[in-house]
Amino acid sequence: MKFPFLGRVRCAYLGLLAAGYCAPFVLWEAPARADDGPLFEAVRAADLRVANMGWKLAVSNAPLCDRLEAGTGMQLHTLDQFDAAKRESARKHFGFSTPVAVEGVVADGPAAQAGLRIDDALVRIGPIEIAKLAGRPGTTDRLVAIQLAIAALPIGAPVAVEVIRAGAPVHLSFRPVPACKSRFELELDGGFGASADGSMVQVGSGLLDDYPEDQLAAVIAHEFAHNILHHRERLEARGVAYGLLAGFGGNVKYFRQTEVQADLLSVYLLANAGYPVRAPISFWQRFGPSKAGGVLRSRSHPAWRDRIATLAAEALKVEAISARPIIPASLAERGKPLDGDWQSILIRSR
């Protein structure tokens, strides 16, 4: 389903909670309709699709990450996030007995295993009391607050959870598992973009519309690799310029180096999560000819045919390794300054 009319970021908060947070946004700015249920459920399904892929990648690759958090497998949302015109409709559809509810749970996560269900309204999770979290209508303040609090929960320790389900209190307990520190966002704009900022991965909803799961996972894995390799911090340490200036001057070599490094690591991330290691190749064979053009993008990113050749060579290496997880030696580079040498790690297409 396409969502060109929403045009806002929808955060997939699934317990892979980093110390950052989404910029405030107001969801559902269109007028309320008699039945908003199908729209709400379409967005829930899209959020959960991204959440499940992010969860698999973040938990399976925890041994590769030097920044971890407590993974719960919960994806939360708040009534505050909804525009005033949609808020009452959202309350009726999702329940929202408290201001924070479970939008979804990943199938194999601690929350699901403990028995948490969609639309459970949170009362307390560990020491966190939902009623004491400040929030304002039209903002993500309350969601950010619980995000930060859950991020601080100890990994592996039992966490008591109280929810309201169908009007009755329910008490549960689960143990968070180690997960790489990142959150995963779906941008409901119908676009085909993807990005990472060090603690977040964002993908455009057009990718969900047009690409199968393994290829979408390949896109997410590439952006996730940027976070694992601390590329944002390392680029900033080099003083690079972003936006239109990324494709000019001394910026180019550093951006290209990070792109190739992320491509290479993404193959290992996919393998560890059980995805086909050749999924990035299939993605670029389809995406490259139609959408990877543009003079500026071609300057800051390697040619898509060269990326395919590089990914294919790395996939051959990974396919020869049976043990999981695979921890590539290249991870040692994340603590070093970027040197701009992208050509030695890129394989040219023939």
pLDDT in tens, 283-330: 999 998 887 655 335 577 899 999 999 999 999 999 999 999 999 999
Give me the helices (H) in the chain, please.
37-60, 84-94, 110-114, 141-151, 205-210, 213-228, 231-237, 251-273, 279-291, 295-300, 304-319
Do 252 and 300 contact (CB within 8 A), yes or no?
yes
Q: Which is it for the CA torsion 232, 230, 284, 202, positive or negative? A: negative
Low-confidence spans in the chain with pLDDT less than 70: 1-34, 242-249, 292-298
Residue 306's pLDDT is 96
Residue 148's pLDDT is 80
Residue 247's pLDDT is 47
What span, in angstroms and rounded, lies between the C-alpha atoms of 140 and 327? 36
Q: Helix, strand, or coil here: 303? A: coil
Q: Which domains does the chain have, with CATH numbers?
A: 9-179 (2.30.42.10), 212-345 (no CATH)
Residue 295's pLDDT is 38
Do 78 and 134 contact (CB within 8 A), yes or no?
no
Do 262 and 223 contact (CB within 8 A), yes or no?
yes
| Token pair for 42 | 């379409």
What span, in angstroms and rounded, lies between the C-alpha atoms of 303 and 319? 24
Say what percent of the chain tops pLDDT 70.
85
Torsion of CA 104, 108, 112, 118, to 10 degrees: 20
